[in-house]
Structure 1
Amino acid sequence: MSGALLLYWVIVGFCAIKSAAFLALFSFDPKNRAALWFSGAFVAAATSFLAEIVLTTAFYPSVTRMVIALSIVVMFILVAYGYAVLYKVHLHPGGGWAIAAASALLYWIILDLPREDFTRQLVYQLPYALLSLLSLSVITRARSKRIFDWVLIVLLALLALHFVAKPFLALWTGGVGVTALDFVNTVYAGVSTAVGAVLLLFMATTAFGLMLSDTTGRLIQKAERDDETGLLNRAGFTNHAERSVLALGQTDTARRPELTLTLIGMNTPLHPRASDRHLAEMAELIGDHVPSDALVGRMADCDFAVLSPATNLMAARANAEALRLAANARLSEAGRPVTLSVGITEREKGEVYADLLARGLWALDEAEKSGGNCVRLAGHANFVTSGERRAKSAL
């Protein structure tokens, strides 16, 4: 078995593994539709290299050569559409069919020309180079780019250059051979296949890393989200709030940055748990009555929290009062009044999230003790803990 033929078998195995990996990723995360396109692309690549192996047996050579050529075309088309899905860039759905049809016509014209003809070799590689540039153009049109995106751009550019350079490489290394069996024994077959396989490996690995990163991000986001309302859950809100307050603390100056915490409790006297519809409507109402950059979370069955940057105590109170009135009007039904108890506090210099939460809970408790359907504030100056009260009593 020649070195090139052995390499073909290795590449077939690699393509099968990559296709299975992308398919497994799609099965795990159906929202990652780009993985499905890439899985199909590597099936097409494996088909092409299997056909290369079949061609050495002289089994229906004309058909086999067409399968080899068009399978790689299909692979690149599927890769381009996979990148379009991954980067949310529009590619016309009929474009792939048009490219495949044009390539089929081109190969039908040239494939029976002598293998060693330079023009035939150059024209044969042209669709692959152009399709590599099509994928490159998809990534360059993406709105934002990470380091991996630039790596892919470089790899696709190198892949396009690789296809253009192949006819010249064939001349330099002694030709492509007269027959398919001659071809697999040439230096050119081993070198060009090895270089293409390496570039394909890097491209596949980088694309898989990007898709895996997207899936991981979705899983983290899902873990932090409440299924019924779509808001942050308690753990997600706490994590983000702690980071936000900590970041604000690093910018503390003589002029205190404004940040308020609003805790909201739904009062449903006849039903301890709010209905799913009420919860969804409540989440929507909160979104309509808080700043667009505020963190909003569901802390318990009927309890919510809002962390509002660049918002002082009075502005937060005005938002809370408007929310309270809107909830009274929209959520209450005959015999099922829905009112809100709201506690609000403002961050003082040097405080962490736990300090805000303690005062916010105190204010919410005061609102509930007052009968609910009201807003209470907890300013730092008039708030003392039970430990501080005991210390003052001992004096």
Structure 2
Amino acid sequence: MNGAILVFWVIVALCVVKSAAFFALARFDPVNRPALWFSGAFLAAGISFLGEIVLATGLATGLAPGPTRMVIAVAMVIMFVLIAHGIARRYRIDMPAGGGLAIVAASALLYYLILDLPRADFTRQMLYQIPYALLSFLALSVIARARSKAWYDWLFMALFALIGLHFLGKPFLARWAGGVGAEPSAFSATLYAGLSTASGAILLLILSAAGLALLLADTAGRLIRRAERDAQTGLLNRAGFSTHADRHLLTLAQAEKPHEERRDVALTLIAVNRPAQPRTREQSVAALAALILSVAPRHALIGRMADFEFAILAPGSNLFAARHTAEELRKKLRARLGEMEGGLTLSIGITEREPGDLYADLLARGLWALEEAERAGGNCVRLAAHSQFDPLGIRQG
């Protein structure tokens, strides 16, 4: 077994493993539909390289080498079409399935027409590589059409550009390396075969690893978001709200400079009197969550902290802006009381950020203000300014 055939076997194994990995990811996360396209793509690539082994070892002599060469070429085209469709699904770019079928059919016709041309012919070699290069640039163009791009999207674009140039450069590499072999079975013994398969294996490995990492990150992000959300209302749950609030306030505290004007952040805690009927409770919670979303500032964090407790962390809002929002919420709630059974009322406690405050500091003052509202009989708003509160929970006069 020469080096080129060994590399072919390595690539086949790689393709099977990657195809299985993408398929397992799609089964684990049914929302991750692009993983199925990638799974099919690497399975097609494995078939193409398996055909190369059949051709290079002479097994195709009794199996008609012409059809084997067609399978090799078309399977690789199918791989790139499936990858392009998977990327389009991942970036939410419209790409009709009929277009992919048309590309496969046109490429198959091209390969059939050039099948019997001399292997050493430069034009034949270039025509053979053009569909792969164009499909690589197609994948690049799909990512380029995405509305917003992260740094890794630019790396993917660069990778597909490199793959496209790699295919266009192959005929020139073949000429420099002494040709592709007079017969298909002689291909694996050429210098070009070693260089071409090695470079192709490296690019395929990078593409498969990068694609798997991207789709795994998508699934991980979905799982994290799902873990941070309350299933009934769609708001952040207690853990999710605390994590994001902690992170935001820690960032502000670290960026703050001495004698710098403070950056306004207000924390509003909301407690609801509980309706007696369980059915009414569920309806009330969903309705109240919708009301809070309608009055809260656009970039605020909103969380369901317990069954009938909510919180709003509003960057850019001070104590009085948050009070205005709270009164607006109470006003909207009164307007909807006729639609809700149980006569809901709210107890609301509000505090604002002081320089150096972390989430724990705001939460302590906010809970004190909320307790004051509940002690006052509920259905009211109470404020906790920093100058009116100490760590022991004693109001300062």
TM-score (norm 1): 0.92
Q: Indicate whether 1:337 and 2:346 are aligned.
A: no
- Whole-angstrom distance in 1 between the partners of 2:262 and 2:241: 23
Aligned length: 390
- Whole-angstrom distance in 2 between the partners of 1:29 and 1:53: 35
User: What's the % identity of the aligned pairs?
Assistant: 58
Question: Could you tell me which residue of structure 2 aligns to residue 373 of structure 1?
Answer: 379
Letter in 2 for 1:351: D
Residue pairs, 1:1-395, within 5 angstroms? 1-55=1-55, 56-57=58-59, 58=61, 59-249=63-253, 250-251=255-256, 253=259, 255-271=261-277, 275-330=281-336, 333=339, 335-384=341-390, 386=392
Does the CA-based 8 Å contact 1:281-1:331 persist in structure 2? no
Letter in 2 for 1:24: A
CA spacing shift, 1:44–1:232, aligned 2, 3 Å = same
Give how far 1:274 is off.
6.0
Letter in 2 for 1:9: W
Does the CA-based 8 Å contact 2:34-2:86 persist in structure 1? yes
CA spacing shift, 1:257–1:151, aligned 2, 3 Å = closer
Q: Residue 94 of structure 1: SS of its match in structure 2?
A: helix
Q: Residue 336 of structure 2: SS of its match in structure 1?
A: helix
Q: Residue 163 of structure 1: SS of its match in structure 2?
A: helix
Give how far 1:170 is off.
1.9
Does the CA-based 8 Å contact 1:332-1:338 persist in structure 2? no
CA spacing shift, 1:285–1:61, aligned 2, 3 Å = same
Does the CA-based 8 Å contact 2:7-2:198 persist in structure 1? yes
- Whole-angstrom distance in 2 between the partners of 1:147 and 1:340: 45
Where structure 2 has 5 or more consecutive residues not aligned to the other structure, the ranges are: none
- Whole-angstrom distance in 2 between the partners of 1:248 and 1:11: 50
Does the CA-based 8 Å contact 1:274-1:302 persist in structure 2? no
- Whole-angstrom distance in 2 between the partners of 1:267 and 1:54: 75
CA spacing shift, 1:307–1:387, aligned 2, 3 Å = closer
Give how far 1:331 is off.
5.5
Give how far 1:332 is off.
5.4
TM-score (norm 2): 0.91
- Whole-angstrom distance in 1 between the partners of 2:283 and 2:394: 43
Give how far 1:132 is off.
1.0
Does the CA-based 8 Å contact 1:148-1:206 persist in structure 2? no
Q: Give the RMSD, CA atoms, in angstroms.
A: 2.2
> Which runs of 4 or more aligned residues in structure 1 lie more than 6 Å from their structure 2 counterparts after TM superposition?
none
Letter in 2 for 1:90: D
- Whole-angstrom distance in 2 between the partners of 1:286 and 1:152: 40
Letter in 1 for 2:347: S
- Whole-angstrom distance in 1 between the partners of 2:124 and 2:392: 88
Q: Residue 337 of structure 1: SS of its match in structure 2?
A: coil
Per-residue CA deviation, residues 180-221 of structure 1 (Å, 9 max, x unaligned), is: 212222222222111111111111112222222222222222
Q: Residue 257 of structure 1: SS of its match in structure 2?
A: coil
- Whole-angstrom distance in 1 between the partners of 2:341 and 2:147: 52
Letter in 2 for 1:142: A
Give how far 1:87 is off.
2.5
Does the CA-based 8 Å contact 2:284-2:340 persist in structure 1? no
Give how far 1:116 is off.
2.4
- Whole-angstrom distance in 2 between the partners of 1:135 and 1:262: 47
Q: Residue 272 of structure 2: SS of its match in structure 1?
A: strand
Give how far 1:335 is off.
5.0
CA spacing shift, 1:165–1:152, aligned 2, 3 Å = same
Give how far 1:254 is off.
5.1
Does the CA-based 8 Å contact 2:351-2:383 persist in structure 1? yes
Where structure 1 has 5 or more consecutive residues not aligned to the other structure, the ranges are: none
- Whole-angstrom distance in 1 between the partners of 2:160 and 2:27: 27
Q: Residue 305 of structure 1: SS of its match in structure 2?
A: strand
Does the CA-based 8 Å contact 2:368-2:393 persist in structure 1? no
Does the CA-based 8 Å contact 1:170-1:188 persist in structure 2? yes
